[in-house]
């Protein structure tokens, strides 16, 4: 087999790139290790920056999002028993779109099918050969047989544990990582959301987040120790703990019900600065991970795809390689800014290991001082809002 661009990974990043290239007449093949059914069972983020919304318009898949998504002009932060609202629209003139990643992926699969896009499911990449040549080859197994896909470029959109980053020799990898000493226990329930906007709660018992997918599908999270297991948390225990971490006037609006999905995810910050290695390009979670507190994971992947799709289109239409040559520097600038914001939000709102001094818990007092400063400083509020809605591409 031969194509121009081999895309490893059939999640939203790989599918958006495939769609954008196909719309410009650039042949590509997507290799996905799992089935479409499996991919669509993944429960992921649902807060979209304007940049991602614009990208979905460009990819001609925005109609379902416009019909079923919801624009949010603000969100709430609860601390010290009170709630304060961040007026995104008033502060920076923009909001965010709430629309689930699963729904985006489903829309993209439908669009690729309608255009006759080539997506090879259950294709396990075993090796990437000739990365530094003009004709790399992706070796993969499928249906009990071995295959190879020759191409001009390989794009790795296959996540943190995928094969694409592993194709870079360990001695050449330049990575940075911070692992947080807690995780997020998340549940999905067919219940009305507690609020029409997201609620982030900082509490002595730990962080909590109240989110939603639509008017009768809610997503809630609790900070938990990494030693906890899903089996340790019954639904009743989860709802009880969530109520404890919310102000009374907020908690009284909580509608509970059976969970339809429950999982624990560890939190980490990770960057692989080898976002280009020869003719292999990394995008999304293959190159970077952010803690979910700032809602930047999917959005950061989208900015990678924005830069990379434009660079590939520029190359194939005009023979101009400047976009490809500049991808690493351009993408990394935004990656590190998003990493900073996500690390800051996580450090601000979670219960962190104590830094006790003569007058008690230093870390907690610093968090309280920072929150008090934010809500008494127009400049600090605007900075928070600017980063939350997304820095420009």
The catalytic residue positions are: 72, 200, 292, 296, 388
* Dihedral sign (CA 44, 49, 55, 60): positive
Cα–Cα–Cα angle for 245, 246, 249, nearest 5°? Answer: 155
Cβ atoms < 10 Å from Cβ of 37 = 8
Question: Distance between CA 319 and CA 309 in Å, rounded?
Answer: 14
Length of the chain: 393
Residue 260 dihedral angles phi and psi, to the nearest 5°: -105, -5
Are residues 293 and 193 in contact, defined by beta-carbon separation less than 8 angstroms?
Answer: no
With a CB cutoff of 8 Å and minimum separation 6, the contacts of 128 are 136, 137, 138, 139, 154, 163, 164, 167, 280
CA nearest to 222, candidates 192, 236, 201, 251 = 201
Report how far apart, in Å, the C-alpha atoms of 182 and of each of 46, 82, 340 are: 22, 24, 19
325 φ, ψ (degrees, to nearest 5): -65, -30
């Amino acid at each position: 087999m031969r194509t121009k661009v081999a895309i490893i990974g059939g999640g939203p990043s790989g599918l958006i790139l495939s769609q954008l290239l196909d719309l410009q007449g650039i042949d590509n093949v997507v290799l996905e290790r799992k089935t479409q059914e499996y991919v669509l069972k993944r429960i992921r983020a649902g807060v979209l920056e304007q940049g991602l919304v614009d990208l979905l318009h460009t990819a001609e898949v925005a109609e379902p999002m416009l019909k079923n998504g919801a624009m949010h002009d603000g969100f709430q932060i609860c601390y010290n028993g009170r709630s304060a609202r961040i007026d995104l629209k008033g502060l920076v003139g923009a909001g965010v779109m709430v629309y689930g990643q699963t729904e985006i992926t489903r829309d993209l699969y439908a669009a690729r099918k309608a255009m006759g896009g080539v997506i090879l499911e259950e294709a396990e990449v075993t090796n990437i050969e000739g990365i530094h040549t003009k004709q790399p080859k992706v070796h993969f197994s499928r249906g009990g047989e071995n295959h190879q896909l020759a191409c001009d470029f390989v794009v790795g959109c296959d996540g943190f544990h995928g094969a694409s980053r592993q194709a870079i020799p360990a001695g050449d990898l330049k990575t940075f990582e911070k692992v947080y000493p807690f995780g997020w226990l998340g549940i999905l329930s067919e219940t009305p959301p507690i609020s029409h906007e997201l609620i982030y709660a900082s509490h002595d018992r730990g962080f909590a987040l109240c989110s939603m997918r639509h008017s009768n599908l809610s997503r809630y999270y609790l900070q938990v120790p990494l030693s906890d297991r899903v089996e340790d948390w019954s639904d009743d225990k989860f709802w009880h703990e969530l109520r404890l971490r919310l102000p009374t006037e907020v908690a009284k609006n909580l509608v509970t019900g059976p969970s339809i999905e429950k999982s624990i995810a560890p939190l980490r910050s990770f960057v692989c600065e080898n976002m280009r290695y020869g003719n292999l390009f990394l995008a999304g979670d293959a190159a970077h991970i952010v803690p979910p507190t700032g809602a930047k994971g999917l959005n950061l992947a989208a900015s990678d795809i924005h830069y990379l799709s434009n660079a590939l289109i520029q190359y194939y239409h005009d023979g101009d390689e400047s976009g490809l040559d500049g991808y690493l520097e351009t993408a990394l600038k935004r990656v590190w800014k998003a990493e900073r914001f996500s690390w800051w939000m996580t450090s601000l709102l979670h219960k962190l290991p104590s830094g006790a001094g003569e007058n008690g818990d230093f870390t907690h007092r610093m968090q309280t001082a920072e929150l008090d400063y934010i809500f008494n400083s127009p400049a600090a509020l605007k900075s928070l809002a600017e980063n939350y809605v997304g820095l420009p591409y």
